[in-house]
Each structure stands twice: as C-alpha cells, then as structure tokens.
Amino acid sequence: MGIWIRLLFKLLLGMLLLLFFSCRSKEFASDGYFTGDVDKYFNEKEGVNIWVYRAFQPRETGQSGLRTTSYYPLDTRMMKMVGLGKNGDKVMFSVVPENRPKYNMVVVKHRKRPYKLEGFEEKFYEKAPYYIKDFSNEDMFIKHVYIPYGNKESISMLFYALKIEDYNKDKALDRFNYLAGINAKELKEEVQYKSTWQIFDCEENQRMDWTIQPNLELMKGRKKVYLKVFDIYGPNKTISYFKLIKKGEEGEIKLKLYPNDYVMEYYDEEEKLLERKEFRVGGQ
C-alpha cells in the first residue's frame, strides 16, 4: 500500500508541476499600464513601450477592452497555433477594440532570442524590419508578427479576426499592419523604455518651457501616480502629456507646451482622480 501511495503522490506532484509551468509559460507581465487617453502601453519592468490605438479602453471583463491580467476565450488556442507562450515568454496584453472592425490582438515579449523564423516573410516600415507569418484559413485572418530590437530583445504580435470584419472600408487587417509597422520603427529607434508620452499640435518654435512640481502629498501610501496634462479648447479637452511618477521620482518635470489653457490631473493605479488643477501657459 505504501508503494502505491508514494507512486500516486509522485504522479500528482508531476501533474501539479506541469500545470504550474504550463501556466507560467503564458504568464501576464506585471507592472503593465494602459490608459484610454494615451495610445501607448507602458511596462517599466519589461522595459518596453507598445503603440496601440487611443480608442482602446482598459477593461478586464466584457467583450472588448485592453486586458493586462486575463485572456479572451480564443487567445490561448490561437497562441498555441502560432507557437507563442513558451519558455517563460511574458504576455503584455490582449485587446479587442470597442468598435468595428472587431479583431483580437495579443502582444508577447520573448524571454530570449534568436527566434525561429522559418516561413516568415521579412517586411520593412520606414527601414525598420519585422517579420510576418500567415496562419489564415477560410474564415479567419490569423497573423503572427515578430519584431526584433536592441541586442537581444523581441516581441510578437498575434492578430486574428473573422474575414467578414475586413469587408468594410475600415479594414481590421490594415489596422493591425499599421500597428506592426509603427512598433517596429519605434523599437528600432527608441530602445530605452520611457515613462512619458507627449503629442504636439504646434511647430517647435511656438513651444514654451514649462515646469511642473508634482504634489508630494499624493505619493503618501502609494508606489506610483499618473499625471495627465490636457489642452483646453472651450468645453473640450485633449490630452497633451502623460507621465508615470514613481516613489523617489517626484522631482520637477520640465516640458514644452504651446501657449494655451491647460488642466493637469493626477490619478492612482485604479484610475481614481486624486487632484485637478488648471493653469495657463503664455499670455495673461
């Protein structure tokens, strides 16, 4: 009886270890951050920024949204089909857009290079190389894009969608191809991770120096806060600047802004508004 108990114990232990490492192979990366106001995903721990669409919304449940902790129903099946989620690779996020065309996209950061590229086609976006392999069938587009960057870094972007989503003017596949290209370009030119994002709607000679001193009181009991600066145009506001502020990095922030009215807002990690202040750059 003792022998059978030991054998059963070893079998159960083996199954648990297999399940553990299987789950780890498709593990989501920690410290990932995305806000619907900004068209970038940030992950300092993994040292990577990923361009996305600003229309994406952070949401872990439901039929759409950008998820950083959970999969959509077909994600793991599609990942297995194209060979993703192995050897400790980290899943950055999985997303479905809010509006049509509807599609799924999963971004994975690889633990190591080189990656086997048999069957991949090399492409370029403004001289930035990336590789794509087609797994499509009669009903679905299924694409795997591989982007190497830096010395040993690389990411993969998995895209899948029903072909019916490509029949209208705004094609799902075109949207994915654009993201693949601009991320290849960004990762080639900007290897270092950035915790800031800014967009300009004016010429460089029109911009003015401006300094923001973060409110240190907001950091009490928190590891990080998020600063968003918005342009004010009448009743409307559009985001101009974003920064992730970590504990120990509360020094003054120097940036360039166009003469205009602005509002800066601080948020916690749950997107709860902590503080709001208006200011004006230039003029009276």
Per-position b or e across 145-184, b if 16+ CB within 10 A of its CB: bbbbbeeebbbbbbbbbeeebbeeeebbbebbbebbbbbb
Does the pLDDT at position 104 exceed 70?
Answer: yes
% of the chain with per-residue pLDDT over 70: 90
Tokens at residue 196, please? 């800031």
Does the pLDDT at position 7 exceed 50?
Answer: no
Rounded to the nearest integer, the mean pLDDT of the chain is: 88
For the beta carbon of residue 44, count every other beta carbon within 10 angstroms.
16
Q: According to the model, what pLDDT value does residue 2 have?
A: 54
Q: What's the mean pLDDT in 75-103?
A: 92
Q: Of 2 and 251, which is predicted with more confidence?
A: 251
Residue 130 makes CB contacts below 8 A (sequence gap 6+) with 122, 123, 124, 145, 146, 147, 148, 180, 181, 183, 184
Q: Which residue has tokens 């949204």?
A: 65
Tokens at residue 280, please? 């004006």
Of 4-18, 29-43, 76-90, least confident by mean pLDDT is 4-18
Of 59-63, 154-158, 166-170, 280-284, least confident by mean pLDDT is 166-170
pLDDT digits (tens, 9 = 90+) for 182-233: 999 999 998 789 999 998 877 888 889 999 999 989 999 998 999 999 999 9
All domains of the chain in start order, with CATH:
18-189 (no CATH), 196-281 (2.60.40)
Q: What angle do CA 131, 137, 141 make, to 5 degrees?
A: 55
